[in-house]
Amino acid sequence: MSSILTNSSAMVALQTLQSINKNLSMNQSQISTGKKVDTARDNASIWAISQTMQSDVDGFKGISDALATGSASVAVARTAAESVTGLLGQIKAKIVAAQDPSADQTKLQTDIAELRNQVGSVVGAAQFNGLNLVNGTTASVNVLASLDRDSSGNVTASNITVNGQNLSTAAGAVVAGLTGSTGVSGDAGTASTFIDGGSSANIKIDAAGLSAGDTYKVTIGSKSVSYVVTANDIASSSTKNAVAAGVRSAINSLGVTGVTADVTAAATDTVAVSNVAGAASISMTTKVIAAGSGGLSGLASINVDNGAGGNAAQALADIEGLIKTSIDAAAAFGSSQKRIDIQSDFVGKLTDSLKTGIGALVDANMEEASARMQALQVQQQLATQSLSIANQAPKNILSLFR
């Protein structure tokens, strides 16, 4: 039945044209934006997932910056530790040269002092944006390394901890209250006495307040020797006896003519220093120097000038430990920097993977969109033509009344 009031064909054609136009508009939007899911209206679930992943990508960009800064900070510290190791090697060469009896130990000691000052300069200048990992001011630093999201959506930050390495050269101060030589009143960590020919003086070891790294320094005449208290001494059942044995051996290594040291039979915590009969009186000074806070604090006491209270043989033994300290520090920084660099590479690859995943969710298939555009344009033309034909149908009814 035909009707001039209700044109069903035109309504169907119009609905079809509207549907085609809607699809064409959506397809054009995909082509213009490059996304098949551009807003939450397009696909709420996919849009929400993509936005969460995009926020992680933005976060990892910040992490990449943090890792780059952390790597630079550790690189400065590593370079400083390597430079210090090289300087200590030069000091060792001077110490070895001083073992030659014909060497000019005074000039060698002057060179050592300048190199020691340079070590201090390197340690003090090894900072990145105010962060110094080698001068003892920073115990450790946390470098932001990742954002970890669990299955419940909770996010936590993870860090790479870089431990500082104290390479400062500041020597410890004299320890007050520890016993030096007997017979000296007002002892405050330093005790002096004279030993006449044929007599002796005692050094009584006081273990109270001693720590590993503390140094007993004994000067006899113009020569000095040191004994560094070890962790084994502190752990010994009798710390004072262990230290006394070490001090005795150190004094005997001085080689002062007519002077010998031994632990007394009556008190094994006492070192008796004897001067040969008929010899001139000699002075003896004993003091205890606290362990410096820095790993290279022992550098301050190195003296190869035997004629000015130094001990070239002792210096050779001491420098080995200092070189090992700086090598260990450089190695530790190298390991930390390598880990940071590995993490930085991983974060870069992870960010690329996340971007690929986001693209798979929301990016439009441009080849498919282009083909669909052609099809929809043809459909639009046909639907327009169909609507035009349907709109002509009522006019055909007029011919019935002619």
Instruction: Go through the domains of the chain in sequence order and give each one's CATH number.
Output: 47-170+326-354 (1.20.1330.10), 190-291 (3.30.70)
Local confidence band at 29 (pLDDT 50, 70, 90 cut-offs): confident
**How far is it, in rounded angstroms, from Cα 270 to Cα 49?**
78
> Within a 10 A sphere around the Cβ of 100, how many other Cβ atoms?
11
Q: Helix, strand, coil proportions of the chain in percent (round to 5)? A: 55, 15, 30
**Single-letter residue type at 150:** D
- Residues making up the chain, counted from first to last: 402
Tens-digit pLDDT profile for residues 337-369: 999 999 999 999 999 998 888 888 887 777 777
pLDDT number for residue 402: 67
Between these two residues, 309 and 194, which has the higher pLDDT value?
194
Confidence of residue 79 (pLDDT cuts 50, 70, 90): very high
Helix or strand (DSSP H, E) at 270: strand 270-275
Residue 172 has pLDDT above 80, yes or no: no
pLDDT at 123: 93
Q: Chain centroid to CA 270: how far?
A: 45
Q: Give the tens place of pLDDT for each residue, 261-294.
A: 999 877 788 888 999 998 888 888 888 888 777 8
Q: What is the pTM of this model?
A: 0.67
Question: Over pLDDT 90: what percentage of the chain?
Answer: 28
Q: 102-106, 190-194, 245-249, 254-258: which range is least confident on average?
A: 190-194
Over range 371-394, report the average pLDDT: 83
Task: Note the pLDDT tens digit of each residue in 87-138.
Answer: 999 999 999 999 888 889 889 999 999 999 999 999 999 999 999 999 888 8
Nearest to 266 by CA among 182, 380, 361: 182
